[in-house]
Amino acid sequence: MSFVKRLWKDRVSQYPNRRAINDGSFSKTVTVSRDEGTVTEAGDPFNAENMNDLEDRIEAGLAEKPDREEVEDMVTDFFPLGEASGDVASFNPGVVMPLKSCEVDINPVQNLHGYSKPWAGGTGKNKFSYTGSISGSGTILNKQTINQINQGSYVLSIGSASTRGSYVSFTFWDSSDNSIGSVTIQTSQTSGTLTLSGNATKITVYTPDTCNIVNVQIESGSSATSYAPYENDCPISGFSECNVNKTGKNLFDISQIQGGFFDATAFHYDTYWKGVCVPVKAGKTYKISGMYSPQTGGVRYAYLKDRRNVYSEFQLSWGSSTVNGSFTVPEGFNGFWIPLYGSNQTNTNIQVEENSTETAFEPFGETHNIPFGQTVYIGKLNVTTGVLTILSNIVSSLKNLIWIYNSTFQVFYANLPTDALNILSVDNSCCELYAPTDKTLSTATWTQLDNGTYVMAANLSTSGRLALVIKDTKYANATDFSNSLTDKKFVYPLATPILVQLTPTEIKTLLEQNNIYADTGEIDVIYHHALTAKNIFFDNSGTTLTATNVEDAIKEVLGRI
């Protein structure tokens, strides 16, 4: 809230120095005065004049307007830290400032086998269900039973790694052993068109020569596409710990070598040199060691980077064999780009440290293990506070749910545990065998549910619990469908997130570091933007900033003061 000035007044009375003494048996009124002996320090009297002067100085101080440079420095303290994600979610140290806050997004690891989603047999593009060996000569498969392929036009393809003689033929039969279509793949071919006059349930494969056929695919259309399996069963796993790394004294992360940067001084993008940008602080002195000098005289051109990623050329002198150079960072810079020549890219003992003298080499980074005490599939770990938020739970086997078949909509549904979030959504959920639908469906529109997908639904019964609805037209009764789901996992969102306070011993050591990153499977790490209203109060109103970058923040502050 804004500062409210107060007017102080001196006390005014008839007898300011008179005091009454009364102990119950004795009563007397006396006049008192100071008798303190030698006064070595008179001090400042507590009176209206001094207190009002204090009020005036506080008001003047709060009303003082900083200039642009002062505002820029204040805003820079809360510079956004950036984002990254992937198998190894790390940051180029040169583009981050000291850690203000960090959350690790924990997502389930699902082996999609190189495809975008899971799917049950027959619900993907490949309708060929036989997964056994197709090798040998003569009649390899003789009316082998397969899952039904409906009447229609298809293209049959085989993998490029297949070996065959002059040709291989595929003949399809219906349930009465009537031949309803065939296709022959010649030596120079990998696909052919197929027309089925009925529903195929059996197949015969013949070749006059020895063959080994792999990756058979039957799909709708007239031209072959890339191979996909008949069924894409995708196991789900979670995390029981998070390994979080931070920089130690060595700020040089050689794993972050990248090519080129935009040199705003020369106005070109220099892609020739590879290098690493090291985080540095203005006014600090740094020591480089362990690099080989590539030039006679030991003069190297490096680059200092300011907070707007503008690079300025900088000459650094060192010895003639290995580098032991030091430099002090001028004001306005927070990164130091070190170009790496061929010989230096093979040296693993390069070190940059905040020091004026060289010390013993230490590898970049220090790993901190943060155990969760349980397996977490979806959640968040706040590295700043050590709070683990668990957002999901898991059904270890969908077979354990009580499934009901709705013949009208041709769907199977079952109530999830009572802790499930009771909303019509597939967010924060995943299944090992079925893909989430991209449609928002109510009970009345379940007929629109695509085969092989699932959706959430509520209020299917008087229990009012969240239900999982799956459409799989291979099954027409709940028993067969349930038996097919043995050991198939399903992750579902929790109605009430579970908060776990982890031991903060290791977490606290990670704060205020130049670089921090998580390296645990497919975890996503997000360094949240620390430029928030509650952190910066530049005017008397205490209004927070709405800007999302430094330049806009400066303009916003300057516009208010």
3-class DSSP state for residue 558? helix
Would you say residue 113 lies in a domain? no
| Average of per-residue pLDDT across 450-464 | 73
Q: Are residues 393 and 473 in the same domain?
A: yes
Would you say residue 490 lies in a domain? yes
| Average of per-residue pLDDT across 315-329 | 59
Q: Are residues 349 and 484 in the same domain?
A: no
Q: Are residues 393 and 499 in the same domain?
A: yes
Domains in the chain: how many in total?
A: 3
Q: How many CA atoms lie within 13 A of 178 on its CB side?
A: 8
DSSP letter at 82 equals -
Give first-to-last CA distance, the chain, whole Å: 16
Is the per-residue pLDDT at 84 higher than 80? no
Q: What is the DSSP string of 301-341?
A: EEEEEETTS-EEEEEEE--SSB---EEEPPTTEEEEEEEE-
Q: Are residues 191 and 300 in the same domain?
A: no
Percent of the chain with pLDDT over 70: 64
Q: Which of 204, 220, 236 is the last residue of a domain?
A: 220
In the prediction, which pLDDT does 340 show?
Answer: 67
Residue 306 CB coordination number (10 Å): 16
| Span of 140-144, 163-167, 268-272, 524-528 with lowest mean pLDDT | 524-528
Would you say residue 448 lies in a domain? yes
Q: Are residues 391 and 455 in the same domain?
A: yes
Residue 209 sits in a domain whose CATH number is: 2.60.120
Please indicate whether residue 81 or residue 464 has the higher confidence score (pLDDT).
464
Per residue in 258-303, pLDDT (tens digit) is 655 444 444 334 444 567 777 677 788 888 887 765 544 444 556 6
Q: How many CA atoms lie within 13 A of 391 on its CB side?
A: 12
Average pLDDT over the chain, rounded to an integer: 75
CA dist., res. 494 & res. 517, Å (int): 28
Q: Are residues 522 and 469 in the same domain?
A: yes
Would you say residue 129 lies in a domain? no
Q: What is the DSSP string of 362-410?
A: --S-EEEEEEEEEEESSEEEETTTTEEEEEEEEES-GGGS--EEETTTT
In the prediction, which pLDDT does 295 show?
Answer: 47
Please, which residues have CB within 8 angstroms of residue 53's CB and are 6 or more apart in sequence?
A: none
The two three-digit tokens of residue 354, written as one number: 């905040």
CA dist., res. 35 & res. 29, Å (int): 19
Per residue in 43-70, pLDDT (tens digit) is 888 888 988 888 888 887 766 665 655 5
In the prediction, which pLDDT does 533 show?
Answer: 26
Residue 55: enclosing H or E segment and its boundaries? helix 48-63
Please, which residues have CB within 8 angstroms of residue 72's CB and are 6 or more apart in sequence?
A: 550, 554
CA dist., res. 467 & res. 473, Å (int): 19
In the prediction, which pLDDT does 452 show?
Answer: 92
The two three-digit tokens of residue 290, written as one number: 């362990």
Is the per-residue pLDDT at 465 higher than 50? yes
Cβ(155)–Cβ(221) below 8 Å: yes
Nearest to 449 by CA among 69, 199, 123: 123
Q: Please calculate the CA angle 319-321-323 and round it to the nearest 5 degrees.
A: 55
Cβ(494)–Cβ(390) below 8 Å: yes
Is the per-residue pLDDT at 497 higher than 90? yes
Residue 310 CB coordination number (10 Å): 15
Q: Are residues 403 and 455 in the same domain?
A: yes
| Span of 101-110, 125-134, 181-190, 379-388 with lowest mean pLDDT | 101-110
pLDDT band at 229 (very low <50, low <70, confident <90, very high): very high
Residue 420, domain extent: 84-108+377-528
Would you say residue 50 lies in a domain? no
In the prediction, which pLDDT does 98 show?
Answer: 38
Is the per-residue pLDDT at 350 higher than 70? yes
Q: Are residues 170 and 205 in the same domain?
A: yes
Please, which residues have CB within 8 angstroms of residue 346's CB and are 6 or more apart in sequence?
A: none
